[in-house]
Chains A and B, each alone.
Chain A
């Protein structure tokens, strides 16, 4: 009897201790949970930042914390999957030599890799598989009848190839001759016919190799050149970052919303020519809508007479076209997928049309990207927008948009 009583007392004491411990734990976690703002982060000086503000009619707010806003924030360019400004007007004509019979030979070196993790949207990292380190890969350009020679090196950890659209021999098709990791292959063919083509890796699973970024644009110019124009290349693509066979991001030229904070600057009344390629996976269609204007469409670029005059072109996977247009009035004009879901997940941009005289760097089309990217500020806001208060925001933004900039 007494022994058991003694044990009981001891037990009860230990139970009391257990209880109080449990209670303290519960209270502590409770306080922690109810007040999530009690943070272990050292409080830096509080900076008020403005959330949103770039969509007219939308409310804005301020925060003492951090911003997440791919529409106005940018990626430090050394971290980014591509520099879309550089890519836009970057055409590679190769190392030119002339063969015995007088044909132009263009040599290109393309290196495939599949180990890089890069930012595809501000703060979002993704394992990209690349040709020459970017998504999309470099734009390869030749004239009809030239000999194109691609020295392909596979620097990745998987088999890769390069499969060009166009006319060539079976063994140059990049389908059955997989290039092993560390291996090399030389693709050689005559550039024909003229037009705009995609190239991409053709190792299976095809979808996996393409959606990770192994694609680019191959342009063949007609022997009689097209009229002089402000030429640019645009690749519509997407990223499935969570591997659910649905795209999480849609872009033109690799980074969502990039041309929203870095509008493409063009001159009033200048002919603009876009080599547009759809490399989107998963979604069967994609499209290109231009605001306040219409364009001539040259489907696949294989003719010199336009197929259509429109402001909307819809393309399936792998389809491409050449678009030509001029802007008559200066200002900011949007272009985006009219599949609005894609637009609101990154596939939108702006043209900034300027008066041709006195207004800009006379020689080049370089825009503000370089100066902006030099600052390397992750939280950089676009221009004037971040200073706008909530009250005046809508009016001011509308004014900004109609005036065509800063």
Chain B
């Protein structure tokens, strides 16, 4: 019956497509043509009579300030609604000669590098001002000037060492909980896995807040930065859900072995054998896959963290103290726990695989620190952080659906171990975060 229906539908739709392809195309294009005509009219002098209400103001955003030996370099972008010309540079409201590359004339969204010879003093605050041709001054205050790291071998290795301490080592330490978690019974296991979700949700929210901070302080309103965070987060979230679904579907089809394992696993987990039919349709993910996904999403998060560390050093906001590194180390150890939590119910896992997971999760810190320190760009960081947040929420969602696949939706949210695990996880993150 169903097959016949299906065939009929397909036929109908095929006929429909062939019958009205041209028409559909036409219907799709007509609004565009009308829109184009309207825009042409609005841009023509005819419409200027009634459209010339209000005055557009120039806008310039100082995106980045570098402190080099005997120079201060400002990177500015024209974020106004029309082309603008840079006419003057000042430091602490005192006019100074400067060089502008590539040009004083900035089209919309175009940026320029302004080099101002200046003997600045380490640790002192500076206000850099840029005046446009209409006399409007735009300024940015740096709380404490610090030499901007240059991309040389020494700086590269310093960032790599910091990244290793902050990213890789703590996660590897966290992975050492693997044997401990493997010995736990179901309830305790649920508790720890839920604790992982708590950790992840904290990290996700943290990434969102951090990106919001960058948006507020460094990104022009014209880029609609806050929306960019949300969009980046949602796209990543949906995209990863879709991709992981496809991924598991494919593996289920190609490897019937997995199904066996799933049933095995179900028996061992609980008596929810009646769920097995549902599971065939549902996207049940292999624990190792889940761990890998957690590792990747934590890697994305740590990439953002690396960006933040690198750019903080670059901007001169943070003197990277030993205390800060200790704080990050404690904080990030919990990330290792998050990675091993799902692994306990899978079969054996080699140490090599475990280390690989740790490197996947921690390694991006180094890359992030390099990029943040040498190529820092606020919008790029915002996008990376948003992607990281989206990835984290997707993993949290995946773990939740994993729970609900064998506990049921209702039971998941009323399970005391799960709830308390989540709360403890989020609290651990908050408290260890206080060290930073």
* B85 contacts partner chain A, Cβ-Cβ < 8 Å: yes
Contact A66 B87 (CB under 8 A): no
Report which B residues bind A (CB closer than 8 A).
Answer: 2, 5-6, 9-10, 13, 70-71, 75, 77, 85-90, 93-105, 107, 110-119, 131, 133-137, 235, 238-239, 242, 375, 377, 379-380, 383
Contact A123 B71 (CB under 8 A): no
Question: Which size class do A's interface residues fall under?
Answer: 35 or more
**In the complex, A36 Cα to B76 Cα: how many Å?**
10
Contact of B375 among A34, A65, A241, A257 (CB under 8 A): A34
* A171 contacts partner chain B, Cβ-Cβ < 8 Å: no
Contact B383 A124 (CB under 8 A): no
A26 with B239, Cβ < 8 A, contacts A52-B97, A344-B94 known: no
User: Which has the most chain A C-beta neighbours within 10 Å: B93, B99, B137?
Assistant: B99
Residues of B within 8 A of A29 (CB): 379
Contact A241 B115 (CB under 8 A): no
**In the complex, A46 Cα to B395 Cα: how many Å?**
52
Give 9 nearest A-B pairs by CB, closest first: A241-B135, A63-B99, A65-B101, A123-B87, A69-B97, A59-B70, A36-B111, A344-B94, A51-B99
- A157-189 with Cβ < 8 A to chain B: none
Q: Chain B nearest CB: distance from A272 CB in Å?
A: 27
Chain B residue, CB-CB nearest to A345: B95
Residues of A within 8 A of B117 (CB): 51-52, 58-61
Q: Chain A nearest CB: distance from B99 CB in Å?
A: 3
Q: Chain A nearest CB: distance from B247 CB in Å?
A: 13
Residues of B within 8 A of A122 (CB): 87-88
Residues of B within 8 A of A49 (CB): 99
Residues of A within 8 A of B99 (CB): 49, 51, 61-63, 65-68
Residues of B within 8 A of A307 (CB): none
Contact A51 B115 (CB under 8 A): yes
Contact A41 B89 (CB under 8 A): no
**In the complex, A249 Cα to B93 Cα: how many Å?**
10
Q: Can you give 25 A-B contacts (C-beta < 8 A)?
A: A2-B6, A6-B9, A6-B10, A16-B242, A29-B379, A30-B383, A33-B379, A36-B75, A37-B102, A49-B99, A51-B117, A52-B96, A53-B97, A63-B115, A64-B101, A65-B102, A68-B98, A71-B95, A122-B87, A123-B85, A123-B88, A124-B88, A126-B134, A241-B137, A344-B94
User: Which has the most chain B C-beta neighbours within 10 Å: A52, A64, A256, A257?
Assistant: A52
Residues of A within 8 A of B110 (CB): 36, 39-40
Contact B87 A33 (CB under 8 A): no
Contact of B98 among A43, A54, A69, A341 (CB under 8 A): A69
Contact of B94 among A12, A16, A33, A345 (CB under 8 A): A345
Contact B9 A67 (CB under 8 A): no
A51 with B94, Cβ < 8 A, contacts A66-B104, A70-B88 known: no
